[in-house]
Amino acid sequence: MLIIRRRLGEAVLIGDDVEIRVVEVGSGRVKLGISAPEEVLILREEIRVAGEQNQAAARTATPENLRRLLAGLNT
């Protein structure tokens, strides 16, 4: 991972098309402005984690797992 320090107002350029600028700096938080072509997906990390977890959960809803889950919860 490349670690770069930026001050308020400064930016990082990625490839030819992506720009990330520090728009606001607060205590423990940073506001970032991101410019990228429409087809580039921009996601908060935790949204991707939630999406992966949802996909795993969707595969889980079987009668077999329901039985296992009920047994586990009631012991």
Kindly list the residues in this chain that would bind other proteins in the complex (CB under 8 A): 44, 46-58, 60-61, 63, 65-66, 68-70, 72-73, 75
Smallest distance from other proteins to CB 74, Å: 10
Smallest distance from other proteins to CB 38, Å: 16
Smallest distance from other proteins to CB 41, Å: 12
HEC string for the chain: CCCCCCCCCCEEEECCCEEEEEEEEECCEEEEEEECCCCCCCCCHHHHHHHHHHHHHHCCCCHHHHHHHHHHHCC
Between 37 and 75, CB nearer to other proteins: 75
Between 3 and 70, CB nearer to other proteins: 70
Neighbours of 36 (CB within 10 A): 14
